[in-house]
Amino acid sequence: MKKRILTGITTTGTPHIGNYIGAIRPALEMPKDKDESFFFLADYHSLIKNKDSDDIKQSVEDIALAWLSCGLDPQKSYFYRQSDVPEILELSWILNCVTAKGLMNRAHAYKAATALNTNDPDKGINMGLFSYPILMAADILMFDSTHVPVGSDQIQHLEMTRDIAARFNHLYKPLLTIPEPIIEDKEKVVLGLDGRKMSKSYGNVIPLLDDEKKLKKSIMKIVTNSLEPGEPKDSNDCTVFDLYKNFTDKEKITEFQNHYDEGISWGDAKEILFNVINEELMPIRAKYNELVKDKDYINDVLRDGSNKARVIAKQKINEIREVIGITNIS
Ligand code: ADP
Ligand code: TRP
């Protein structure tokens, strides 16, 4: 079966190694032969958290460059900004009207934000955050995506997308494709410098596009325990070990485990980690340094990408409008 692979990254801050391991690398490795891929910059999603227009513009550029530097071929895929395909917002409203409020009440991101409030649970919460999963469902359902590679933090959003699509199909016609989430490591998200989920929101990231020196500096900042060199180290729940596993093979992992058992110092363990990450990122960095010089290139690529994507989106939205009773006036 021909697959339609789709994934997006929110345009806040700089792309990091969690985005790379959870979304970019698996998404780029997945398409085979006749599969089609849709990769996009979720800039409307970023408005929920970010009100700094310069930051959003910069992040769009950084994340676009990250995809292209990691090997995205704009000729062979659909690569666009969410905001350049307005049909997605139109679909988002339609989906708002078939989605139960109760479903959104259960969303982890929204619940986590209300849990931080003491007196008024709604303090500081905008409707964008509340209906975030609906816009994400529109991103996915707009293009009849069959496979959505994401990090394990997005499992619930994908379940909601499936629920919303099923509800629409039940109420109207089975027009929306129910997508499969593709999750690299279901148990784990990539951890950041402080041991929490690596996330732009926590400021604990290892940036993907930093130069070698900065990369090393970030890796040396990973929080570890105070065990001395010579004391055996536990590789369970260890950020250094978990990161290492994502950049190497089984044999090397066993070797690294042996070092832990023998009491490698944290400094040496981090040095080994730096070397594997740096080796994988070197060609990506080289491509980035080349692309960053040509700002017009990114704009051209994104313009062409959204033109291509809109051909599909327009056809789909017309079919959807037809079944809901809002037809085009001829
Ligand atoms: P952030 O949490 O830093 O804002 P995004 O929400 O924009 O990152 O995530 C974009 C993609 O990268 C999603 O598929 C998400 O699951 C993945 N991702 C982000 N952080 C991680 C992480 N720490 N581990 C694995 N995947 C991640
Ligand atoms: N919600 C995703 C995140 O924050 C980003 C995203 C938006 C996305 N729309 C999407 C991912 C559609 C996959 C498919 O990580």
Choose one of 14, 16, 19 to mutate for the ligand 1 pocket test, by most ligand atoms within 8 angstroms of C-beta.
19
Q: State the closest ligand 2 atom to the C-alpha of 132, by its place in the atom list counted from 1.
A: 1
Ligand nearest to C-alpha 187? 1
Provide residues with CB under 6 Å of ligand 1. 9-10, 12, 18-19, 21-23, 150-151, 153-154, 189-190, 197-201
Ligand nearest to C-alpha 154? 1
State the average pLDDT over residues 27-56: 94
Write out pLDDT tens, residues 171-217: 999 999 999 999 877 667 899 999 999 998 888 999 999 999 999 99
Residues 237 and 118 in one domain: no
Name which residue sits closest to atom 2 of ligand 1, judged by CA: 199
Whether 330 maps to a domain, the answer reads no
Q: State the closest ligand 2 atom to the C-alpha of 157, by its place in the atom list counted from 1.
A: 1
Q: Which two tokens stand for residue 105?
A: 């009440």
State the average pLDDT over residues 48-76: 96
Residues 167 and 258 in one domain: no
Residues 47 and 131 in one domain: yes
Evaluate: CB of 149 within 6 angstroms of ligand 2: no
Whether 199 maps to a domain, the answer reads no
- Within the chain, where are the H helices? 17-19, 25-29, 43-46, 53-69, 87-96, 101-105, 108-115, 127-130, 132-141, 155-171, 212-220, 239-245, 250-261, 266-291, 295-324
Whether 111 maps to a domain, the answer reads yes
Evaluate: CB of 77 within 6 angstroms of ligand 2: no
Helix or strand run (H / E) with residue 7: strand 4-10
Whether 33 maps to a domain, the answer reads yes
Choose one of 5, 10, 159 to mutate for the ligand 2 pocket test, by most ligand atoms within 8 angstroms of C-beta.
10
Q: How far is the CA of 10 from the centre of ligand 2 (A)?
A: 7
Residues 14 and 147 in one domain: yes
Q: By the 8 A CB rule, do 168 and 98 touch? A: yes
Whether 251 maps to a domain, the answer reads yes
Kindly write down the DSSP assignment for every residue of 204-247, as one continuous string. ---BSS--HHHHHHHHHT-----PPTTS----TT-HHHHHHHTT
Write out pLDDT tens, residues 267-305: 999 999 999 999 999 999 999 999 999 989 999 999 999
What does the mean pLDDT of the chain come to?
A: 95
Write out pLDDT tens, residues 76-87: 999 999 999 999
What whole-number distance in Å separates Cα of residue 326 and Cα of residue 90? Answer: 12
Q: How far is CA 283 from CA 97, 218, 290, in A?
A: 46, 19, 11
Residues 154 and 260 in one domain: no
Q: Return the pLDDT at 200.
A: 83
Residues 286 and 179 in one domain: no
Write out pLDDT tens, residues 230-269: 999 999 989 999 999 999 999 999 999 999 999 999 999 9
Whether 193 maps to a domain, the answer reads no
- Whichever domain contains 77, its CATH number is 3.40.50.620
Q: Return the pLDDT at 206.
A: 97
Residues 106 and 181 in one domain: yes
State the average pLDDT over residues 97-121: 94
Q: How far is the CA of 12 from the centre of ligand 1 (A)?
A: 11
Residues 27 and 134 in one domain: yes
Q: How far is CA 206 from CA 13, 21, 143, 293, in A?
A: 12, 12, 32, 23
Residue owning tokens 């290139």 = 297
What whole-number distance in Å separates Cα of residue 136 and Cα of residue 7? Answer: 10
CA dihedral 143, 149, 151, 154 (to 10 degrees): 30
Give the pTM.
0.93
Q: How many domains does the chain have?
A: 2
Ligand nearest to C-alpha 107? 2
Q: Return the pLDDT at 318.
A: 97
Residues 257 and 239 in one domain: yes
Q: State the closest ligand 1 atom to the C-alpha of 154, by its place in the atom list counted from 1.
A: 16
CA dihedral 283, 147, 39, 86 (to 10 degrees): -170
How many CA atoms does the CB half-sphere of 204 hold within 13 Å? 14
Residues 126 and 269 in one domain: no
Residues 46 and 136 in one domain: yes
Whether 180 maps to a domain, the answer reads yes
Evaluate: CB of 87 within 6 angstroms of ligand 2: no
User: 198: closest CA among 176, 173, 223, 180?
Assistant: 223
Could you give phi then psi for residue 5, rounded to 5 degrees? -100, 130
Q: By the 8 A CB rule, do 33 and 40 touch? A: no
Domain of residue 268: give its range.
Answer: 210-291
- Whichever domain contains 221, its CATH number is 1.10.240.10
Ligand nearest to C-alpha 8? 2
Residues 286 and 140 in one domain: no
